[in-house]
Amino acid sequence: MNDFEQRVRDLMAARNKVEAIRLVREATGLGLAEAKAALEQWESGGPLPRPKSGTAAPGGVAISDLPPEVTALARQGKTIEAIKLLREQRSLGLKEAKDLVDQVPLDPGAKRSGCAALVLAAVGLGGALLYS
């Protein structure tokens, strides 16, 4: 039994399923629903998912392995659309898909859409209002 499996076993023995799911998510890159399902399958006698290696991107997907449509959307700055498409195609969690899409370099002149862009715009606007 490896360290990962022992830690999951200890958390489950302590009736701390939430922390066990968190550990499975962090170690494997699975989304919330997938990690919960994997843990429930393990409780029924199935194997635990293997922890990801340090060289893989979130969810075990390399940036170079992203679908071309996702990469194209991400390069254009259409972050939300790229994340949605990636989640549909690869069954990734929201955080994992966002982390991957955020690593795709933008085309020159493109700006990222989504919450981060709105927050940055609001902060910039707020700063301009403070100093005017």
In angstroms, rounded to a whole number, what is the distance separating the alpha carbons of residues 35 and 37? Answer: 5
Task: State pLDDT tens for residues 82-109.
Answer: 999 988 888 778 888 888 888 888 777 7
**80 and 123 belong to one structural domain:** yes
Q: Please, what's the b/e burial string for 97-109 (b: 16 or more CB within 10 A of its CB; e: otherwise)?
A: bbbbbeebeeeee
Domain with 112, as residue range(s), is 68-132
The span from the CA of 128 to the CA of 114, in Å, is 21
4 and 31: one domain?
yes
Residue 3, pLDDT > 70, answer yes
Q: Can you tell me the mean pLDDT for 3-21?
A: 87
Same domain, yes or no, for 44 and 73?
A: no
pLDDT of residue 53: 58
Domains in the chain: how many in total?
2
Same domain membership, residue 43 and residue 91: no
Inside any domain, residue 57? no
Distance (Å, whole) CA 6 – CA 69 = 40
Query: Is the same domain home to 72 and 131?
Result: yes
| DSSP classification of residue 22 | H
Residue in 30, 29, 32, 74 with CA at minimum distance from that of residue 56: 29
Residue 62 forms part of a structural domain = no
Q: Are 72 and 110 in contact (CB under 8 A)?
A: no
131 confidence band (pLDDT: 50, 70, 90):
very low
Which string of DSSP letters, residue by residue, matches 67-118? Answer: -HHHHHHHHTT-HHHHHHHHHHHH---HHHHHHHHHTSPPPTT----SHHHH
Q: Return the pLDDT at 50.
A: 82
* 113 and 75 both lie in a single domain: yes
pLDDT tens digits for range 25-75? 888 888 889 999 999 999 999 888 887 754 344 445 566 678 899 999 998
The model's confidence at residue 129, banded by pLDDT at 50, 70 and 90, is: very low
The DSSP symbol for 131 reads T
pTM equals 0.44
